[in-house]
A and B are shown apart, each in its own frame.
Chain A
Amino acid sequence: MVLVSAVRDYVNRMLQDISGMKVLILDSQTVSIVSVVYSQSELLQKEVFLVELIDSISKSKESMSHLKAVYFLRPTSENIQYMRRQLSNPRFGEYHLFFSNMLKDTQIHLLADSDEQEVVQQVQEFYADFIAIDPYHFTLNMPSNHYYILPAVVDPSNLQHFCDRAVDGIGAVFLALKRRPIIRYSRTSDIAKRIAHETAKLMYQQESGLFDFRRMEMSPLLLIVDRRDDPVTPLLNQWTYQAMVHELIGIQDNKVDLRSIGKFPKDQQEVVLSSEQDAFFKANMYENFGDIGMNIKRMVDDFQQVAKSNQNIQTIEDMAKFVDNYPEYRKMHGNVSKHVTLVTEMSKIVEERKLMLVSETEQELACNGGQVAAFEAVNNLLNNESISDIDRLRLVMLYALRYEKESSVQLMQLFNKLASRSAKYKPGLVQFLLKQAGVDKRTGDLYGNRDFLNIARNMARGLKGVENVYTQHQPLLFQTMESIIKGRLRDVDYPYVGNHFQQGRPQEVIIFIVGGTTYEESRSVAQLNASSSGIRFILGGTAVLNSKRFLKDLEEAQGIARTNANSYEKVRLDKSAHETDGSGSPLQGKSGRPHISPTTSVGRKKFQIVVNGKRSSISKTQPQPQPQLQILKLDNWEERLFDPSFCVVTKSFFE
């Protein structure tokens, strides 16, 4: 309840002191923040009779001076501009401004400048800058989430923007909880380190007065990890209710949009799945698919009984009772039809995409199993016609992540097969993923095969057997949290920021995953919180991922990296073109070293590669034949950006 109640308290405080009819004006981010914790009927109780977005309200010119305006915005420069325009032509009687994060002095100055008519009554900072989707799970819902994958030099301004938003969100969470934490981050991730240091700077130096709360015996812990430490969890198919709905259909701000998957009656096109408002969902959100089916059947039976008793109305008392119970009856009816619709749709999707079959192999790949059996299984599924492209891609990625170092020949075979089978597959995506989240880039022991204790544990688990093959995977986060509970989080892997050290175990831990969280991880958090371990965990991320979103982020990052690499390469190639003979014809390098020369204009990137005397032209429009080359381990960051097929070429080029 902690996060939801914090945001609700803020909204209550905003509205309670202002009497009379009010209008609430939000921006596109704060509307999500408020919608997940406050309902329209509650707003009406507080006499807020109009809710608007700030960009649409600037278009209309009606003057409604009998209303008082309450603005709740993020302190971005865009919003400040809108505010200035509105303050110079005020439409409402009074203006109360609330900002969801810290304002800079210049921004206050700008606002004061435009408030010529003195309509602003108060300007406050209420730190509700995060979307509290579940009691212990928050997200920042960043639209351009993929920047965490790219190194800093590719797009520094956007990356700075990304980091700023993350730091603001984390700062707001701690201000809402009134704590100042000790910060640790994942060693191998640059962006985690950067966010950790900037957060420390904010909390301990820049705004240390604001963060100076009463010290408890144990400060809470903020742990910043990178999504790339555990790329397996977002790729898996899920079988527990909330995670499954998000994976197959998609949940946004606790709303599910069913219009994309079929035709529905008007009131079932969009539904709300919130554990606060729906008791059935709260009881079942972490149950697996089979149990949900049984619980829904029970709910439908109960409802049918109630409906039947409403049918035979004979006496006046019956009529009176019916009219009494009618609102509850209607609510129950709506709830039942919502859950039945969701489960039906999901069953349909599972049937179509043969997800039971695919998921079995996925879980094998993620948890246990030998390499040979896995290869067989993945091969068979790739040959199967009814498996969709995205499922094939996920299988190959999971296989590549697990067996990256063993038998590269088989890996190549799988890549070839994938490229030939899937028409829309962009080449190099799996390799890109391996480069970003390969075994050398990860902190922590994703597959439990790095230290002896984990291997032993895995063997024990294999011998014991699992109760459900489809839900046997535990995300890496679970292990991290367990080591925190035992007080054994290694300093080597997760160093501290600054010179704060902590002996013993913290009472509250906030884990922030740069790149996004998944509902499977929030389920582990909820389960650990329910077991009385004495520590309260809160999970947050820059977005909530499912496999589609994760793959989209990878693709976008790859696209940006590629364009950047090409423009970079073009610069280098122009320079080299001057260095060749005046004729510009490709030089036969000494000792058969290959050279690259550009042939055509900027539009089509066509390169001629001379490899050991033989000329082979490779153009970007055709799928590249995968040469029998080993993927080299490259240290230089520039070379990381290029595709593996160019690896050999470019390495020698830069020598």
Chain B
Amino acid sequence: MAMRNRTWLFNKYRDALKGARAPTRSSAAETAKLRARSGVAPAIEMAGTSLLHSKRSYTVVSTEDPGNSSKGAATIGLPPAWVDVSEEIATYVQRARAKMVELGKAHAKALMPSFGDGIEDQRNIENLTNEITNLLKRSEKRLQKLSATGPSEDSNVRKNVQRQLATDLQNLSMELRKKQSTYLKRLRQQLEEGSDVEMNLNGNRPKEEDDDLDDLMLNEYQMAKLKQSEAYTVEREREIQQASSVLLTVVESVNELAQIMKDLSVLVIDQGTIIDRIDYNIQNVATTVEEGLKQLQKAERTQKQGGMVMCASVLVIMCFVMLILLILKEIIF
């Protein structure tokens, strides 16, 4: 892939031409400072030194010369206010992404077999999920603020910024839901496996113990076993409750995310359709701008022909006529 950089040649020409221009401009300078320097500057320029030297001297002249605005130094002016909103949303998205990574780790940790009851893990996961969902919701609300009206060029920029952030948000929410669904699936699998194992344990032991021990021992043992199975059932119930609460939170977040996705899908461009083509968008911009102009002109025309103007002028004329009649009446009588 060949390319050729012409910047060096361009800069050379630009500096040479600026040198040719600068003496004339400094002669028509307004400030005393420049007048003081103008004696010095041509001397530097006409020195006929190498390219490097002349470049340096030209930069000196350019920053002093009021004719050239110091655009070279402060190229980017102050952006409009909506840029701050878009940057805010971008930071939310960044934070949400970081939290997603944490959430992934927390999911993995909760799925690993552990001795504790894993309540902290669950709570951690819940918190993280809630935070991420909140961030997404907040971003979406701010995103609505970015919409602009009017066919100006700025509004196109805003619309496009909105689209890009909407795409990012949609991707994030889909990722979140995928993570949640895999976590749920694995959790359910684990619970089933656990319950199977426990059922097997519960089922096997009574058979073995019953035959070997005498009644008293059996009784005690049976009581102990009963207590154990009770503990197990309590344990199971608690786990089921946890699982259902997790499910509930997941359901809630699914609902919220579905809502967000619905709103976002309006903004996001489908890949591969005509809307995704650059030339289609350019044509549309051109046509909407023209349409806007036409509408404005029509509005102007109808305003001019408006009945209001007519009425007002008629009334004023009537007033003058009445006044004249009054004066005449006074004069005659």
* Residue positions of A touching B, CB distance < 8 A: 6, 9-10, 13, 20-21, 23, 26, 31-32, 34-35, 38-41, 43-45, 47-53, 56, 60, 62-68, 90, 93-94, 102-103, 105, 108-109, 111-113, 115-127, 175-176, 178, 210, 213, 253, 255, 267, 270-272, 274, 277-278, 316-317, 319-320, 323-324, 326-327, 330-331, 334-335
Contacts of B153 in A (CB 8 A): 50, 52, 60, 62, 64
> Contact at B270–A330, with CB atoms within 8 Å?
yes
For B3, the closest partner residue in chain A by CB is A126
For B58, the closest partner residue in chain A by CB is A118
Task: Given A31-B282, A66-B78, A330-B270, output 18 extra A-B contacts at Cβ < 8 Å.
Answer: A26-B282, A40-B278, A49-B157, A53-B286, A65-B76, A94-B76, A102-B4, A112-B10, A112-B17, A116-B68, A210-B2, A210-B4, A253-B279, A271-B274, A272-B274, A278-B272, A323-B177, A327-B174
Task: List 18 interface pairs A-B (beta carbons < 8 Å), by A numbering.
Answer: A35-B279, A44-B164, A44-B269, A49-B164, A51-B282, A52-B285, A62-B153, A65-B75, A66-B79, A111-B10, A112-B14, A117-B71, A119-B71, A119-B72, A122-B5, A123-B9, A125-B5, A316-B247
Instruction: State A108–B16 Cα separation when bound (angstroms).
Output: 13
Instruction: State A330–B161 Cα separation when bound (angstroms).
Output: 23
Most interface-central of B14, B271, B281 (chain A CB within 10 A): B14
Interface string of B61-93 (1 = CB under 8 A from A): 010000011011001111110010000000000
Shortest CB distance A93–B (Å): 4
- Partner pick for A116 among B21, B152, B257, B271, CB 8 A cutoff: B21
Instruction: State A255–B17 Cα separation when bound (angstroms).
Output: 46
- Partner pick for A277 among B4, B75, B271, CB 8 A cutoff: B271
B237 CB within 8 Å of chain A:
no
Q: Knowing A44-B163, A103-B6, A124-B4, say if A270 contacts B280 (CB, 8 Å).
A: yes
> Contact at B277–A39, with CB atoms within 8 Å?
yes
Interface of A is mostly: mixed
Shortest CB distance A5–B (Å): 9
Interface string of B248-283 (1 = CB under 8 A from A): 000100100110010001000111111111111110
Q: Knowing A62-B153, A120-B10, A271-B274, say if A49 contacts B161 (CB, 8 Å).
A: yes
> Contact at A23–B157, with CB atoms within 8 Å?
yes
- Partner pick for A13 among B3, B68, B154, B278, CB 8 A cutoff: B3
Contacts of A90 in B (CB 8 A): 71
For A338, the closest partner residue in chain B by CB is B273
> Contact at B177–A40, with CB atoms within 8 Å?
no
Which 5 A-B residue pairings sit nearest by Cβ, starting from the closest? Answer: A66-B79, A65-B77, A112-B13, A112-B14, A44-B164
Instruction: State A271–B310 Cα separation when bound (angstroms).
Output: 51
> Contact at B281–A51, with CB atoms within 8 Å?
yes
Interface string of B196-211 (1 = CB under 8 A from A): 0000000000000000
> Contact at A44–B157, with CB atoms within 8 Å?
no
Contacts of B11 in A (CB 8 A): 112
Instruction: State A383–B316 Cα separation when bound (angstroms).
Output: 78
Shortest CB distance A284–B (Å): 15
Instruction: State A543–B275 Cα separation when bound (angstroms).
Output: 25
For B286, the closest partner residue in chain A by CB is A56
- Partner pick for B274 among A118, A175, A267, A320, CB 8 A cutoff: A267
> Contact at B276–A40, with CB atoms within 8 Å?
yes
- Partner pick for B157 among A34, A50, A105, A253, CB 8 A cutoff: A50
> Contact at A108–B1, with CB atoms within 8 Å?
no
For B76, the closest partner residue in chain A by CB is A93
> Contact at B273–A38, with CB atoms within 8 Å?
no
Instruction: State A274–B62 Cα separation when bound (angstroms).
Output: 51
B167 CB within 8 Å of chain A:
yes
- Partner pick for A66 among B6, B76, B167, B272, CB 8 A cutoff: B76
- Partner pick for B75 among A48, A93, A115, A320, CB 8 A cutoff: A93
Shortest CB distance A149–B (Å): 29
- Partner pick for A323 among B78, B261, B277, CB 8 A cutoff: B261
B145 CB within 8 Å of chain A:
no
Interface of B is mostly: helix
- Partner pick for B278 among A45, A51, A175, CB 8 A cutoff: A51
> Contact at A64–B154, with CB atoms within 8 Å?
yes
Instruction: State A319–B257 Cα separation when bound (angstroms).
Output: 12
Most interface-central of A40, A90, A102, A117 (chain B CB within 10 A): A40
> Contact at B4–A62, with CB atoms within 8 Å?
no
Q: Knowing A117-B71, A210-B4, say if A44 contacts B274 (CB, 8 Å).
A: no
Instruction: State A31–B285 Cα separation when bound (angstroms).
Output: 14
Most interface-central of B77, B178, B261 (chain A CB within 10 A): B77
B190 CB within 8 Å of chain A:
no
- Partner pick for A125 among B6, B75, B274, B275, CB 8 A cutoff: B6
Contacts of A41 in B (CB 8 A): 163, 167, 269, 271, 276
> Contact at A40–B269, with CB atoms within 8 Å?
yes
Most interface-central of A62, A267, A323, A335 (chain B CB within 10 A): A323
Contacts of B265 in A (CB 8 A): 326-327, 330
Instruction: State A246–B239 Cα separation when bound (angstroms).
Output: 64
> Contact at B21–A323, with CB atoms within 8 Å?
no
B156 CB within 8 Å of chain A:
yes
> Contact at B69–A122, with CB atoms within 8 Å?
no
B24 CB within 8 Å of chain A:
no
Q: Knowing A111-B10, A124-B3, say if A118 contacts B71 (CB, 8 Å).
A: yes
Q: Knowing A111-B10, A272-B277, say if A176 contacts B254 (CB, 8 Å).
A: no
Q: Knowing A64-B157, A103-B6, say if A323 contacts B254 (CB, 8 Å).
A: yes
For A333, the closest partner residue in chain B by CB is B270
> Contact at B276–A123, with CB atoms within 8 Å?
no
B94 CB within 8 Å of chain A:
no
Contacts of A31 in B (CB 8 A): 278-279, 282
Contacts of B80 in A (CB 8 A): 66
> Contact at A178–B177, with CB atoms within 8 Å?
no
For A276, the closest partner residue in chain B by CB is B272
> Contact at A53–B6, with CB atoms within 8 Å?
no
> Contact at B254–A316, with CB atoms within 8 Å?
yes
> Contact at A277–B6, with CB atoms within 8 Å?
no
Within 8 A of A (CB), among B1-60: 1-7, 9-14, 16-18, 21
B181 CB within 8 Å of chain A:
yes
> Contact at A10–B71, with CB atoms within 8 Å?
no
Instruction: State A108–B5 Cα separation when bound (angstroms).
Output: 12
Contacts of A274 in B (CB 8 A): 272
Instruction: State A50–B153 Cα separation when bound (angstroms).
Output: 8
Instruction: State A74–B279 Cα separation when bound (angstroms).
Output: 17
Shortest CB distance A494–B (Å): 27
Contacts of A178 in B (CB 8 A): 1-2
Instruction: State A637–B249 Cα separation when bound (angstroms).
Output: 86
Q: Knowing A124-B4, A126-B3, say if A324 contacts B178 (CB, 8 Å).
A: yes
> Contact at A118–B1, with CB atoms within 8 Å?
no
B160 CB within 8 Å of chain A:
yes
Contacts of B167 in A (CB 8 A): 41, 44-45
Contacts of A103 in B (CB 8 A): 6
Most interface-central of B13, B69, B178, B261 (chain A CB within 10 A): B13
Shortest CB distance B133–A (Å): 14
Contacts of A126 in B (CB 8 A): 3
Q: Knowing A41-B269, A323-B261, say if A108 contacts B274 (CB, 8 Å).
A: no
> Contact at A127–B273, with CB atoms within 8 Å?
no
Q: Knowing A109-B13, A125-B6, say if A43 contacts B278 (CB, 8 Å).
A: yes
Within 8 A of A (CB), among B109-146: none
Contacts of A65 in B (CB 8 A): 75-78
> Contact at A319–B258, with CB atoms within 8 Å?
yes
> Contact at A40–B281, with CB atoms within 8 Å?
yes
Shortest CB distance B213–A (Å): 47
Contacts of B62 in A (CB 8 A): 118
Instruction: State A49–B154 Cα separation when bound (angstroms).
Output: 10
> Contact at B271–A117, with CB atoms within 8 Å?
no
Contacts of B7 in A (CB 8 A): 121-124
For A91, the closest partner residue in chain B by CB is B153
Q: Knowing A41-B269, A103-B6, say if A119 contacts B75 (CB, 8 Å).
A: yes
> Contact at A32–B277, with CB atoms within 8 Å?
no
Contacts of A116 in B (CB 8 A): 18, 21, 68
